[in-house]
Structures are given as C-alpha cells and as structure tokens.
Amino acid sequence: MFKEFMTFIKRGNVIDLAIGIIIGGAFGKIVSSFVNDIIMPPIGLLIGNVDFSNLFVSLNGTFYKSLADAKAAGAPTMNIGLFINAVIDFLIIAFVIFLIVKQLNKMQKATEKPAVPAAPTTKECPYCFSQIPIKATRCPNCTSDLQKQKG
C-alpha cells in the first residue's frame, strides 16, 4: 500500500496540482489585498465614505458601530460588505485566469505545426468500385487486372 501511495505521489499531475494550489492560494491573497486595499477604498469614497468591510446588518436588532464591535458582542450578523469583497475578488481572479489561459492557448497554437495530410493507403477499383490497397495490381474482390488499365 505504501508503494502504491508513493507511485501516486510521484505522478506528475499530482505534483502539478499541488504546485497550482499553492500558487493559487498566494495569488488569492494578492488579489484580496488588491481589492480590499486598493479598489474598495476609492469606491467607498465615491459612495460616501463607506467601508465595505464594515457594511453589515445586525440580526438581533442592536446597533453596532463596526463589525468588530458586533462580533465582540457575539451578535449574529449578515456581512454584506465582506460578501461584496469576495465577489469582487472572484471576478478579478476569474478575469486574470481567463487572460492567462487565452495567452497560453495563443502560444500553444503558435508552436503547433500544421497537420500534414496522410498519404492515401487505398484506392477504388475501377471495375467493382471497392476499396483496395494502393499497391494492388489485381482486385481481390472482382479479380480484375489493374495493370491492364494503366497501359
């Protein structure tokens, strides 16, 4: 069982997947920082100094100045601002991945050689119209002599 596990781990696609997950996690942190620290402050300023991370609804009816105050009090909250930040994170990550895949597809198409059509391996018998090997001198179906036709 250990040997099978080691074979599984050593397969290239498992290692590629692990690397992709690690890089994806790091990329997600960068995008989250970009959204929370660069994009959301100007948007909040434009709509009246709203800090989206503090945009929430207290479900117990009590007013709290910030989400941190509500959490410290143990109040149940609907965190609308955090959800908006998560949606924007997702859209940015999806757009960047789209651009990366699009570029990879372009590079792959540029490096691919055009397919050369294969030479035909069969021909049609002029007498019985069946498919026969291209080098045949006599049709195996109707036994016609194909060399007589050439001359």
**pTM confidence score:** 0.53
The residue range of the domain holding 145 is 118-151
Whether residue 42 is found in the same domain as residue 95: yes
| Contact criterion met (CB below 8 Å) for 141 and 132 | yes
Whether residue 85 is found in the same domain as residue 148: no
pLDDT of 151 higher than 50: no
Structural domains counted in the chain: 2
Query: What CATH number is given to the structural domain containing 95?
Result: 1.10.1200.120
Q: Mind listing the pLDDT tens digit for each residue in 1-20? A: 888 887 777 776 777 888 88
Mean pLDDT of the chain: 84
Q: For residue 133, list its beta bridge partners.
A: 122
Whether residue 63 is found in the same domain as residue 129: no
- For residue 11, the one-letter residue type is R
| Contact criterion met (CB below 8 Å) for 53 and 41 | no
Whether residue 102 is found in the same domain as residue 129: no
